[in-house]
Every structure is written in C-alpha cells, then in structure tokens.
C-alpha cells in the first residue's frame, strides 16, 4: 500500500454555473491554495474550451478526465498531474489495454490519480488491480 500524503480537491461543475464569470473568479492563483492539488470535473460539453483550459493551466489545476456512457472529457493536460474518473459499466479487453497505455503515458509526465466506478459489483476494483499490475 502506498502512503498518501497528498490532499486533492475535485470540484464538479454542471451547466448551471455561468462559465465566463466562474472562470474569471475561480481560477485566479490566489483562489486555489498551492498546498492543495485541484481538479475540476465538468459535466457539460460547454465547458470544454480553450478559455477554460488556459484558466486551469494558470492555476496548475487538472481537468478531470472523466468518462461515462453519456460524456467523455477531451484528453487535455492542464496540470503537472492527471486525475481520471472512469465510470463505464464495462471495459472490453481492447479498452483496458488502451487505458493501460494511456495511464503509462500520463504517469511519465507526473502523478496520476485514477478512480474507477465503484457500485454494487467488484468490477471497478478488479479493473484498478489490473491497471496497477500493468503499471509495475
């Protein structure tokens, strides 16, 4: 088991927050503590813009790379670490292999935090074990 000494903050943003006002006020370097790694998960495609990516980069805040059956976040790096939320019900062998390659690539450029969907079945934990074994 790896020791965890990192604090990470993940904010969820839906369509209801006004993007322009939020981006201007929330991403100033004074707003996000330097001692806290921050990741933002956007649940509406209207947030996926260069303006938002630039604001995230200026604060070294990660774009949470989330995926589900309904929405996939663009693969854009905005911080010196990565934060992934993988919420599909199932991953084929081909998808798992692609994920392992992607995670290895991201791990080469900084810390990578990965969360698999955890519901009533053990698939998320089993996927995490598989990815962890491949990364060693």
Structure tokens at 41: 């998960």
Domains of the chain: 8-135 (3.20.20.410)
Euclidean distance between CA atoms 128 and 7, whole angstroms: 21
- Find out whether 36 and 9 touch, Cβ atoms under 8 Å: yes
Q: What are the start-end ranges of the E strands in 5-132? A: 8-13, 37-42, 62-63, 65-67, 81-86, 111-116
Q: What is the pLDDT of residues 96-119, one digit of tens each?
A: 888 888 888 888 888 988 888 777
Q: What is the pLDDT of residues 60-101, one digit of tens each?
A: 889 999 887 788 889 899 999 999 988 887 788 898 888 888
Euclidean distance between CA atoms 105 and 29, whole angstroms: 28
Q: What is the pLDDT of residues 3-23, one digit of tens each?
A: 333 445 555 565 555 555 555
pTM comes to 0.75
């Amino acid at each position: 088991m790896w020791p965890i000494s990192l604090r990470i903050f993940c904010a969820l943003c839906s369509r209801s927050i006004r993007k322009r006002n939020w981006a201007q006020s929330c991403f100033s370097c004074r707003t996000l503590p330097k001692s806290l790694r921050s990741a933002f998960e956007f649940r509406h495609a209207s947030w996926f813009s260069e303006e938002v990516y630039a604001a995230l980069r200026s604060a070294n805040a990660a774009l949470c790379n989330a995926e589900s059956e309904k929405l996939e976040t663009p693969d854009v790096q905005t911080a010196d670490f990565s934060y992934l939320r993988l919420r599909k019900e199932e991953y084929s062998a081909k998808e798992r292999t692609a994920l392992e390659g992607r995670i290895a690539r991201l791990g080469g450029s900084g810390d990578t935090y990965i969360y698999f969907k955890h519901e009533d079945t053990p698939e998320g934990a089993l996927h995490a074990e598989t990815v962890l074994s491949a990364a060693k």
